[in-house]
Amino acid sequence: MKLTERARRLNLASGRLDLPPVILVSDVERLPDPSAALERLPAGSAVLVRHPDGKARAKLAERLLPLTHLFGIRLLISDDLALALDLCADGLHLPEAIAATDAALGIRRAWRGRLLTMAAHSPAALLRCARIGADAAIVSPVFATASHPGRRPIGLLRFMTWVQRAPVPVYAMGGITAASIGRLCHPKVAGVAAIEGLVSE
């Protein structure tokens, strides 16, 4: 069974059909332009534009916008409220460092209830996500991943412990494949975020 189909089942089991089952994440080196992969995502999924350079991020987001409309995919912008507002994006994603500041509350208010996700690399970060009013947290790296080869993965047991106590729905990211996603079954896991695992299907 494909990763996308397993993600849809995971999302269905969570009961959070308002959240995307799959978040395809752009990456400067490994997936600089996710355009070609959009048509392979289930409707209602999302693409997260995560380029660190502001100009490159805006250029990519503008190019993806009509494609997301065409394929029924949600457009999420990372760490750029102004761009997300300007493009009327479907969602905004905040890095954990911003989620830990007072500015995050102001961003939540400015975003007016639209989809907000935040990165979380610890149980404390998951609690902050809830306090700020995030709709979901992207937890990473769950398994070993090429994105961060030197970072120790959370591991399945710790991840499940965090999920059990998480006050918000969770997305698993890092080393997500059609095989590893089968180990993530939990009602609070709303889906997965991935790069190569989705592109290589």
Task: Please give the Cα distance from 147 to 27 (Å, whole number).
Answer: 9
Q: Is the pLDDT of residue 144 over 90?
A: no
Q: Largest Cα–Cα distance in the chain?
A: 43
Distances (CA, A) of 38 to 41, 66, 72, 75, 189: 5, 11, 9, 11, 22
- Note if the pTM is more than 0.85: yes
Q: pLDDT tens across 84-138, in order? A: 999 999 999 999 999 888 899 999 999 988 999 999 999 999 999 999 999 999 9
Domain extent, residue 86, equals 3-199
Q: pLDDT tens across 1-48, in order? A: 699 999 999 999 999 999 999 999 999 988 899 999 999 898 899 999
Q: What's the total number of domains in the chain?
A: 1
Task: Please give the Cα distance from 2 to 73 (Å, whole number).
Answer: 18
- For residue 74, the domain's CATH number is 3.20.20.70
Q: Is the pLDDT of residue 149 over 80?
A: no
Say how many C-beta atoms besides its own lie within 10 A of residue 92's C-beta.
25
pLDDT at 100: 81
Q: pLDDT tens across 159-201, in order? A: 999 999 999 999 999 999 999 999 999 999 999 999 877 766 6
pLDDT at 156: 96
